[in-house]
């Protein structure tokens, strides 16, 4: 890839203070408790590409998504979109213009739409906020066009969100996200609240829109099958770090990191091939007190001494990267 990536994320880190209130803490004589939700996460997304972040609950995928779209300030690290640093203090005007070019789609289509606004007003809001239409007439026209684009009827604009099913609401969310003509969409579990058949409709729609409008996606999901369907590249997260990135097909064909291997092993076998399924042993450790060294080592069948001491770095090799000592040294 010679073109510079649209989105570049470097060393993104976010620490949350989860201490108890000052008085309780002082009485109980305990210190502050800090939770590192994301730790040195780096990736880049090219135009028209879908990068998926996959991981179990608590792996920090949503935190990374919120930082990438600018909803949450990183503790450290940089987010650069088309060469503009999102959190730098200089170039205020440029950053404001940048906001138009990225939008987010949330998991819960019930909580992310204002129940007291009609759909047309919801979809028109970003157009108004960014001053993208000359007059009322042009705005109405844009809204109708957007509703048609996501497979709804322009007449639906007069209705309220409660009159729609979950899948239709997610279509409204997509129409709203597209109304500012963004280039980059961050989608945080956009289909996990939906039934399979409705999920298929939304996934198809998202892929069609990508082809038509040349969108780039950061796609967050815990569902490997959905990720397989949507992503061009996949990043696997475990306890706040990316442990492996690879092109989607390669990751599924030949996973390298032991955690990725286990995740794929744990996938239900719909093809009924009789493939023996090895459940992953153990559980995700407490993120407040993560194990030293590689966070995965207590559950890892290949762990040896260095894994318990140092955190392995993400080592680039070809188009893929793996953070594992055992892989680095050729043990597995």
Partner 1 sequence: MTQPVLSVRDLKVGFPTRRGTLTAVDGVSFDIAPGEVLGVVGESGAGKSITGAAVIGLIEPPGRILAGQVRLGGERIDTLPAEAMRKVRGRRIGMVFQDPLTSLNPLYRIGDQIVETIRTHSNVSAADARRRAVALLQEAGIQGAEARLDSYPHEFSGGMRQRVVLALALCAEPDLVIADEPTTALDVSIQAQIIALLKRLAQERGTAVLLITHDMGVIAEMADRVAVMYAGRIVEIGPVRDVVLNPHHPYTRGLMGAIPPVAARAPRLTQIPGTMPRLNAIPPGCAFHPRCAHAFDRCMRERPERLAVGASSEAACWLYAEPNAPQGAEPAVAGPEVGA
Cα distance between the two ends of the chain: 29
DSSP assignment string, 244-288: EEEEHHHHHHS--SHHHHHHHHTS--TT-------PPPS-PPPTT
Minimum distance between the CB of residue 95 and partner 1, rounded to whole angstroms? 34
Taking Cα atoms as reference points, which of 267, 242, 270, 272 lies closest to residue 256?
A: 242
Q: How many CB atoms lie within 10 A of CB 105?
A: 24
What is the bridge-based pairing of β-strands 84-85 and 76-81? Answer: antiparallel
Burial 268-299 (b: 16+ CB within 10 A, else e): eeeeeeeeeeeeeeeebbebeebeebbbbbbb
Nearer to partner 1 by C-beta: 31 or 271? 271
Minimum distance between the CB of residue 198 and partner 1, rounded to whole angstroms? 7
Burial 55-87 (b: 16+ CB within 10 A, else e): beebbbbbbbbbbbbbebebbebebbbbeebbe
Nearer to partner 1 by C-beta: 81 or 174? 174
What is the rounded distance in angstroms from the CA atom of residue 217 to the CA atom of residue 228?
Answer: 14
Nearer to partner 1 by C-beta: 171 or 256? 171
Minimum distance between the CB of residue 234 and partner 1, rounded to whole angstroms? 12
Which H or E element spans position 79?
Answer: strand 76-81
Minimum distance between the CB of residue 272 and partner 1, rounded to whole angstroms? 6
DSSP assignment, residue 133?
Answer: -
Binding site for partner 1 (CB under 8 A): 56-57, 148, 150-152, 165, 167, 195-201, 203-205, 207-208, 222, 224-226, 228-229, 248-249, 252, 262-263, 266-272, 277, 279-280, 283-284
Nearer to partner 1 by C-beta: 142 or 222? 222
Nearer to partner 1 by C-beta: 4 or 301? 301
Residues facing 320 on adjacent strands: 317
Nearer to partner 1 by C-beta: 84 or 200? 200
Minimum distance between the CB of residue 79 and partner 1, rounded to whole angstroms? 27
Minimum distance between the CB of residue 315 and partner 1, rounded to whole angstroms? 24
What is the rounded distance in angstroms from the CA atom of residue 83 to the CA atom of residue 272?
Answer: 48
Minimum distance between the CB of residue 156 and partner 1, rounded to whole angstroms? 11
Taking Cα atoms as reference points, which of 295, 265, 250 lies closest to residue 38?
A: 295
Nearer to partner 1 by C-beta: 45 or 147? 147
What is the rounded distance in angstroms from the CA atom of residue 98 to the CA atom of residue 213?
Answer: 18
Nearer to partner 1 by C-beta: 71 or 225? 225
Nearer to partner 1 by C-beta: 81 or 105? 105
Minimum distance between the CB of residue 129 and partner 1, rounded to whole angstroms? 27
Minimum distance between the CB of residue 283 and partner 1, rounded to whole angstroms? 5
């Amino acid at each position: 890839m010679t073109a510079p990536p649209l989105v570049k994320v470097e060393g993104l880190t976010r620490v949350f203070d989860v201490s108890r209130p000052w008085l309780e803490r002082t009485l109980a004589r305990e210190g502050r408790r800090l939770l590192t939700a994301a730790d040195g996460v780096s990736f880049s997304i090219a135009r028209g590409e879908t990068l998926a972040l996959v991981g179990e609950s608590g792996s920090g995928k949503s935190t990374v998504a919120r930082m990438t779209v600018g909803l949450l300030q990183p503790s450290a690290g940089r987010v650069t979109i088309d060469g503009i640093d999102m959190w730098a203090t200089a170039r205020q005007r440029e950053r404001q213009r940048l906001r138009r070019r990225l939008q987010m789609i949330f998991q819960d289509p019930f909580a992310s739409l204002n129940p007291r606004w009609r759909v047309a007003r919801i979809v028109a809001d970003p157009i108004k906020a960014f001053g993208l239409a000359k007059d009322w007439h042009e705005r109405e026209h844009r809204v109708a066009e957007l509703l048609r684009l996501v497979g709804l009827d322009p007449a639906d604009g007069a209705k309220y969100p409660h009159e729609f099913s979950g899948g239709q609401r997610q279509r409204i969310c997509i129409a709203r996200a597209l109304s500012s003509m963004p280039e980059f969409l961050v989608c945080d579990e956009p289909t996990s609240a939906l039934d399979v058949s409705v999920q298929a409709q939304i996934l198809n729609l998202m892929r069609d829109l990508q082809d038509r409008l040349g969108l780039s996606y950061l796609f967050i999901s815990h569902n490997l099958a959905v990720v397989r369907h949507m992503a061009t590249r996949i990043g696997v997260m475990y306890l706040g770090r990316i442990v492996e990135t690879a092109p989607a097909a390669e990751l599924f064909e030949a996973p390298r990191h032991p955690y990725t291997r286990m995740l794929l092993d744990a996938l239900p076998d719909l093809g009924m091939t009789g493939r023996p399924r090895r459940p992953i042993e153990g559980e995700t450790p407490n993120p407040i007190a993560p194990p030293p060294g590689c966070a995965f080592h207590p559950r890892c069948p290949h762990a040896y001494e260095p894994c318990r001491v140092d955190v392995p770095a993400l080592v680039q090799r070809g188009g893929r990267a793996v953070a594992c000592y055992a892989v680095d040294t050729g043990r597995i």
